[in-house]
Structure 1
Amino acid sequence: MGRKVTVATCALNQWVLDFEGNTERILRSVEAAKAGGAKYRLGPELEICGYGCADHFYESDTLLHSFQALKVLLESPVTQDIICDVGMPVMHHNVRYNCRVLFLNRKILLIRPKMLMANSGVYREMRWFSPWNRPRHVEDYFLPRMIQEVTGQDTVPFGDCVLSTKDTCIGTEMCAELWNPDSPHIHMGRDGVEIFTNSSASHHELRKADQRVHLIRSATAKTGGIYLYANQRGCDGDRVYYDGCAMVAVNGDVVARGDQFSLDDVEVVTATLDLEDVRSYRGEHLQPAMKSETQAFLRVKVDFSLSTSDDVFLPTQQPLQWRFHTPEEEISLGPACWLWDYLRRSGQAGFLLPLSGGVDSSSTACIVHSMCTLLCAAVADGNLQVLEDVRRVVGDTSYDPQDPKELCGRVFTTCYMSSENSSEDTRSRARELAAQIGSTHLNFSIDAAVKGILGIFSAVTGHWPCFRARGGSHRENLALQNVQARVRMVLAYLFAQLSLWARGRPGGLLVLGSANVDESLTGYFTKYDCSSADINPIGGISKTDLRGFLRYCADRFQLSALDGILKAPPTAELEPLTDGQVSQTDEADMGMTYSELSVIGRLRKISKCGPFSMFCKLIQAWKDVLSPAEVAQKVKRFFRMYSVNRHKMTTVTPSYHAESYSPDDNRFDLRPFLYDTRWRWQFKTIDEQLSQLETKAEQ
């Protein structure tokens, strides 16, 4: 009797509604799994249609095309003699479910609907799918005629059941079910299931990967067993990046894993494991508590083995040491991969970035440079898909990218748009960084355009506004800052559309934004200025993390220009200089530091704090540096700025989602954009509490 099984899990870079490409990548993964000797292949969640279809899930076309793709998979000779586990939406009794479809040799073995839905943060599964809320219950699912013609089956099992082969028992859970306190693997393990599979679409956030690994380790440490984890990879059409990291764990140890960040569209992880290790582990640790008191799972029997009778000499996987990326490495890799997916699938020829010489735009530039470094490394490793995509983007079928700096010059244009308020320091910092990363750099003045616009206003009204430093009012000062910022946006798009044309090259450029998450919290940017772009790789990253990222880049990529950028105070340079030096700084304008904003942002979103709750928490957290009155002042100032500027988030550039306190209202932070900015009741409660604290302090 065989005891060693070889199984495969994978990370696939699927794309929403790309049924042809998705099907081709699934077949490539099955082929690779079989080449590795696997008898079972697990893929990511909703891999046939793509996870991020959103309201396309309502369309009958999505269901139809998913079954058409399933038909192709069933008929393919590639999928023969291996159990294939694929993900797609299925409608049963007029209810839409997120399902796994398991099949072998042109026969569907079972359809397992998701039971516990992901419905927080960036996830809205309950909008499109219903959970299967009948544990251990199985019904007949009537197959569409196109599938019946292939399988010869009228109905197949649909529900919460497990698969029983000749040598083992396999149970399915899906993504969020692993994170739930009542995870299915607990009940399946107690009912004798030995192999657990998890198909996932888990997105990347900074510092999140260790949670996922810990959950998978603990799942098998508690119940024993083999755990296969598959995940989506890449940008499938929205703000999130799925970071792969397919893995296999046994009895609390990870024994095989894929990359967290990679440009490979298809990555397959195979592992050979000994079932007797699971049985021995359970016999020692779990014997008295193994049998579940609840109803047993229906076992769908299949005349197939994952093992062979002569496997005694097959080597098995041993535990490996997991190294997690630092946040700086994550910023370098995740947004870079996301940008590449967006560029190659958008049909554009590169990026354009307004480069100011500050931390934010420099961080965006370094991410593009990191992308070019990854591309050259992938080509050197023999990735033909990356080579084909790079050649298509640059418009040269014979191009062989070897030097990241040279590639950067082909796909990346930076521009420093100076005004009379710009300093020579920022101009030189931008020029030096562009030279070191290799971008095609432009340097021009916007003064003529600004004066032309103000001239139109003056001709109509008879008035010419002045900066505050020259006697103007606050409203004049703000308008003059905004017109500079908005002119830069118009010019950025003009150069993005025509700069390659002017150089005799085809195609256009995607405009990159560079507003960080903390500025979005307070709305410290001009609506429709150069923060308005096509995409923004740093829109979900804090200023504090960006500074750490630049220090990492200075060392990793030998970019000495970043030293001066890190030392300079953050400034928009929209007000007149004083003796040639910057007189305006971001933190002074906002009335709080970027590190304080990060704390406030986490309290607002993650801890769900309103003004009063935030005040109560911060008087303790900041008691060593700020008085209660100073804390109250900062809390009030933040909520005033937040509510006054919240409307800006309705038009914010789509940004890479990297932080759980992002204020992106399009998908993640669902709050109003029209507020009573006086916050009268809330601020009165703070004042009453502050008065009590001051009275108590005087006693």
Structure 2
Amino acid sequence: MYGYVKVGSAVPKLRVADCVYNKEEILKLVEAAAAKQVRVLSFPELSVTGYTCADLFFQTPLLHAAEQAIQEIAEATEALNIFLLIGAPIAVDNQMFNCAVALYKGKLLGIVPKTHIPNYSEFYEERWFASADDLLTEEITYAGQNVPIGADLIFAAADFPALKIGVEICEDLWVPIPPSSYLSLYGATLLLNLSASNELASKPGYRRQLVSQQSARCLSAYVYTSAGTGESTQDAVFSGHSMIYENGTLFAETESFSRESQFVYADIDVEMLMSERRKHTTFMTHLQKAEAQKFYRQIFFDMAEDTTLDNWSRPLSNVPFTPTTKLDARCKNIFAIQTTGLARRMEHTHADSLVIGISGGLDSTLALLVCAKACDYLGIDRTHVIGVTMPGFGTTDRTYQNALTLMRCLGITMKEIPIRDAVIQHFKDIDHDISLHNVTYENAQARERTQILMDLANKYNGLVVGTGDLSELALGWATYNGDHMSMYGVNGGIPKTLVRVLVKWVATNGEVDAEASAALLDVLDTPVSPELLPPDENGKINQKTEDLVGPYELHDFFLYQIIRFGYHPAKILFLAEKAFAGEYDRATLLKWLKNFYRRFFIQQFKRSCLPDGPKVGALCLSPRSDWRMPTDAVSRIWMDEVEKL
């Protein structure tokens, strides 16, 4: 039970004013959706009669036929575990209302009239319909049942507390403050819009923007269902353009201008939406400051959360930090954030140079590229970057040569300072056996390198530029007061999977010459390693990070889901099994998930004293930004759940 609900948007074939035919088409779609385990399904505005009936709405036979159709739909769906929202014209209080009728297991839960009635351009709804604001009655008898009516209804699943459904109709969304804004503030996580939006040139794009933005502002899922091609084409054409969005992201969309009935569906994560609302502390401030408080009636129905998750349908990337669209623009933007941050810090401190250790590995390569771009941004020569290669016991010729090539091609100042002799002397000073390749052996090298960089920065009035990335910070894969420390960490907000994308982008987009490009591609092909243990007998890297702590693609996935949304370990595992199906088995995923939780908790002390650095993406682990965690927090709750899995 992970907080998912499968929601659908259905556009039936339609005949104007033929309620019998329309009812049959609606029921066909309900049956099809129920077979796919859809639990919430919405239909277009006035879908029982058709939106374009015009003055036929004054005809009593049409109103009676619509009511009869709703009653028969309720009876026919009594055995189905599906919440339905169907459009119908309803006469009450000496007026006519354009309504959405909510049904569940044969019961009419409530009727929501349209609030904002358009009467401009091609729309003349005020001729037929009154606004929900004009309604006098709070309950009516309709389709043989006593039913609450009003725009103040929120439908709440009694056994699924995160699922609360708010309803608005077409034009309601197009006004400055839509009813859905208030519905979301009062708890609705799923917003349904029954619409009849005719087609105009360029209107689909605007409609997408509208729904996307409203779902994002309301931190909600938004299902927009519009009338199809069966409507009258006397003065307008309708395409059936319907969409499902979650927090600004499009999950599903119908084919426009289809002649056949169709529906789309997606699994919405209402648990995630609730988490986002709790995190965004400004979400409720509008309600507190509103001039007039609104009040809503909660209508409960007995739907429970699905436990099977059959036919799970939801966009899911196994590289959540990396751009999937507009790669060029995204990479340029990320580099601009890094370079501007570094350049501004260099200006503010009146530094004359940027001092950086160059290992020939991924992280220092990206940081070096940022340093070079920062000099370009400031209009100073790249020789202000002092790149230092510091060969040690584990340095291989491959990484060493790549480091030299990149520094030379980028035109920076190059220095080489071997650390072997200094570290050997240090081992003698602390009485450490050089043949004992333990944590002392490794960390002494990292701290010696950091000391060299710090002292060079003092000598040349420079800033030591940190190279460690977000993934390493999450795992604590850094030597405390060694590579963990710098004067400005340009990679601190960038996970390893994104580091790869950025370096490859520079290598392939013409930013550097052919020699540098070849070196960058070779860096990408080199196993990730701190190179603190001696190479193997063939002179190749003998210490591969991902063999020790786990694949970075998995840890970045865990990091995103855990920190961004605060999910349970069980849900993290479920998502990982979906995202990495065919790549990692369950046992492997559990092994590295357990390792992630273990390291994340015990390594917080390193994150509590991070150097400054720019936030780049959706999250970071700086104690001054996204993540504040006590160093002595206990991981028992999370580890116990992983053990049970």
Query: Could you state the TM-score of these two structures normalised by the residue count of structure 2?
Result: 0.48
Query: Could you state the TM-score of these two structures normalised by the residue count of structure 1?
Result: 0.45
